[in-house]
Amino acid sequence: MIQRTIFEEAKFALNQFRSLCITGPRQSGKTTLSKHLFHGKPYVNFEDPSIQYAFESDAEMFMGKYREGAIFDEVQRTPNLFRHLQVLLDNNTKRGQFILTGSNNFLLQEQISQSLAGRVGYLTLLPFSFEELKQSDMPTDDLMKLILNGGYPEIWTEKLQPNKWLQSYIQTYIQRDVRQIRNIANLGTFNRFVSLCANYAGQILNRDELAKSTGVDTKTIQAWLALLENSYIIFQLQPWVNNLNKRIIKSPKIYFYDTGLLCSLLNIQSKESLKKHNRFGAIFENWCISEIRKNIFNRGDADGMFFFRDSAGNEIDLILEKETGPLAIEIKSSSTSMANQLNGLKFWNKYQKGSQGILLHQGYSMKEMTGFNSAMSWKEIDTL
């Protein structure tokens, strides 16, 4: 097993709460992590129809078997479970009794807030990060391979061909998970919508334009975006807002949690195609931002990720809210530090006096620069 960075944070949460809920996309390693945390405790998978039937037939008898705790996997499948868990946890205040996992954030949050608020800690496990791969001695010098493979554990541990695996993942997600959450009459249209989202990666979201390209109304686009977000396919980066500047763009940007999935949707299957692709800059930016998001979640920290852009076109790819103030990160796919790559950070230094800035690029060395703090190689991204 590749050691997950979130492991220590999960152990701490189990000492703080009566139960721990681990969310994240399918195949991100939630079950493996849970079994490692709860070695020897019963494991129950609610995706098994026979398990669902046993619970629904006699919930009290079913729950009586697990008074000493258990791992309950994909709990969003059985909404009534949470009411019975509430009774067990109210009768026993011992820490770390249950681990709950789920791959749909909306359903879980809704059910937990109704029945288990205050009784459950909450963590998000994303696919392998660059830091985790590096610490496990996986080959991490090849940026193109990292981007194409993405982070889903099975691709790395079983040395699978990523595109084939990811194509199957997309189809399984659409056929099973989408239908569970929302009744979509035309799956072909939804498929087209998911592919169009890949073309928007790293861009400011225009819902009206996306609706026109997909052939549905804007309300449907809004609902489908929420569906992809709650299933950990995409996330939206919100604009950093400062009241001093009322001309700031207020629409979000869209990113994919996994660049392997993004490349598969864009039909990029080789390193050569990736290098030459006209969207490579946006894909590299997506990889950097998703890696930083993994680092934040693995530490159990709050999100604190934004972008900046005003109506005059001044832009910073990523703003991280730190205790010491906002940290501006400009991401460039070029392997050299060109003077014109610093324009955004120079504007930011004037706009937000005293704040730090980093140029994150494809080069191989860290250089001290004038006018802001540093230029950082993508190989140092695990430090952010």
Report whether pLDDT(175) > 90.
no
CATH level 2 (architecture), domain 130-283: Orthogonal Bundle (1.10)
Query: What pLDDT score does 372 carry?
Result: 53
Report whether 347 contacts 332 (CB < 8 A). Answer: no
Q: Is 160 helix (H, G, I), strand (E, B) or coil?
A: coil
**What is the rounded distance in angstroms from the CA atom of residue 145 to the CA atom of residue 12?**
34
Q: How much is the average pLDDT of 305-318?
A: 89
Domain ranges of the chain: 7-124, 130-283, 308-383
Q: What angle do CA 362, 368, 370 make, to 5 degrees?
A: 110
- Distance from C-alpha of 309 to C-alpha of 59, rounded to nearest angstrom: 53
Beta carbons within 10 angstroms of residue 260's beta carbon: 24
Place of tokens 């230029």: 375
Looking at domain 7-124, which CATH architecture does it have?
A: 3-Layer(aba) Sandwich (3.40)
83/62 Cα distance (integer angstroms)? 13
Q: Are strands 305-309 and 325-331 parallel, antiparallel or unpaired?
A: unpaired
> How much is the average pLDDT of 98-118?
81
CA distances from 136 to 50, 157, 297, 346 (A): 37, 11, 19, 38
What are 15-62's pLDDT values in tens digits?
A: 999 999 999 999 999 999 999 999 989 999 999 999 999 999 999 999
d(CA 327, CA 232): 25
Sign of CA dihedral 357, 361, 366, 371: negative
**Amino acid code (one letter) for 217:** D
Q: What is the pTM of this model?
A: 0.93
| Average pLDDT across the chain, whole number | 89
Report pLDDT for 106.
66
Q: Identity (one letter) of the amino acid at 236?
A: Q
Q: Could you tell me the two tokens for 193?
A: 């919508």
